[in-house]
Structure formats: C-alpha cells, structure tokens
Amino acid sequence: MDLEKQPQKPVAPAEPAPVGPAPVPGAPGDSLRASDADRDRIADILGDALAEGRIDAEEHSERIDAVYRAKTVGELEPIVRDLPAGTRPRQAPDSAHAYGPEDTSGPADNLVAVFSSTTRKGRWRVGRRTNAFSLFGNIEIDLTEALFAQRLTTINATSVFGNVEVRVPENISLRGNGTGIFGNFEVVAMEAADPQAPLVVINGYSVFGNVEARPKRGKWITDLQGRLRKHLGH
C-alpha cells in the first residue's frame, strides 16, 4: 500500500494556554466588591503582623493605605499573602474577644483645627480611624480614658504650622510612621505586655509644626475586657 496516497486527517488547532493563574475553586472572584468587613479583616492581620515584628511601621502604613484604597477582594488578598494569617482563614479565638461589637459601617472620625483648638478626651468610644488636621491650630487627642471597640486604631495626623498631640495609657502598644519637614514628628513607640491590649498607630507628617504621641504617666487601662463589656451592657 502506498502510504503517500492515503488522505490525511486534518489536525485540530491547539487551544491557547490560559493566561494568568488558574482559578482557585471556592475562592472569591477578583471582581467581587470588598466590604468594610473584608477590609477590617485584612487590617487586623496587618495589625497582628506589626505587633509580632513581621513587618515594620513603615510597611504597615503602606499596606494599610492599600487596604482602604482597594475596591475588590482580589486587590485585598495579595496584601497579606506573605503573612501567616493571610494564607488561611482566621480562626476564632478560644475565648470571646473582649472588645465587643465593632461599627463596620461608620466613617472615620475627623478632627480639624484651623486657627483654633480641638480636644477629644474623657470617656469616649474610639473609632478604627481618626483623621486629625491642624493648620495654625492645636488638636489634643487623649485616649487615657477612652473605650477601644477594636484592637487596631489608626490616627492620621497632619500639622501645618500647628500642633497635634496624642496621649495614650501606659499599658497599650504604640507605633508611628511619619515625617517632620522643618517641624517635629515624634512617636514614643512601646509594646504592651498584654497581647490583647489595644494597638494605636500614628501616621502623618508635620510642616513647620508638631505631631507628638506618647504615654501619659500614671494612666492605665485596667480590665481591658470587662470595662467595655460593662459599658456596652454585655
């Protein structure tokens, strides 16, 4: 038999290889809109990583900014992919968390002082984020008697020919990342002995002004868990 005269079957063209990583079964789609709860979950992971020394304050600030700019779940997950809690679902703690229910829908607190003075002190419930802007003015934020509804609290402070002062109890964790341009940006970093103590992070800058955060001598938060539950009626 003459093999050269046999008709040849057409060869089907090869399908193009898919571009990008293969989809993970059960994983949220990249286009799924991120909720406030999704962003808070990622922010909590970053707060834990900062407290454990896995990332420094500068990297924490950069990642937190990315968290609150993210629009979809696909943008959030890569931010913590290299952190232990970011590679597996977060497990609920053995005991109920002490901070009580969080307000996941509320906006950031805004404190503004323009040729004036603004003070926040006494018994008040601290939000997750506070923006403080001082222009030829003075802002005082006193957290020594405040109630923390969450572990991580971020304060973004900007001072232009003004002053922003933050006072915290001696038994919480305090971190800072900022710059002084012909001015002063000073955060007295400290680490609480209690791993469940609140963590306050100060970000920002001063231009011919002052941003300062430090503990207030003799002020302590006692019974971190019981005080808030009593205040909230739990």
pLDDT digits (tens, 9 = 90+) for 188-231: 998 888 778 899 999 999 999 999 999 988 777 765 545 445 55
Residue 117 has pLDDT above 70, yes or no: yes
Amino acid of residue 97:
H
Q: How many residues in total does the chain contain?
A: 234
pLDDT of residue 97: 35
Q: In what order do the strands lie in the sheet with 117-120?
A: 117-120, 138-142, 163-168, 210-215, 184-187
Of 81-90, 117-126, 217-226, highest mean pLDDT: 117-126
pLDDT of residue 221: 73
Measured between alpha carbons, how far is 203 from 187 in angstroms, rounded to an integer? Answer: 9
Residue 43 has pLDDT above 90, yes or no: no
pLDDT of residue 162: 96
Proportion of the chain above pLDDT 70, given as a percent: 72
Of 139-143, 147-151, 201-205, 222-226, the poorest mean pLDDT is in: 222-226
Section 78-103 average pLDDT: 57
Measured between alpha carbons, how far is 175 from 114 in angstroms, rounded to an integer? Answer: 26
pTM score, two decimals?
0.55
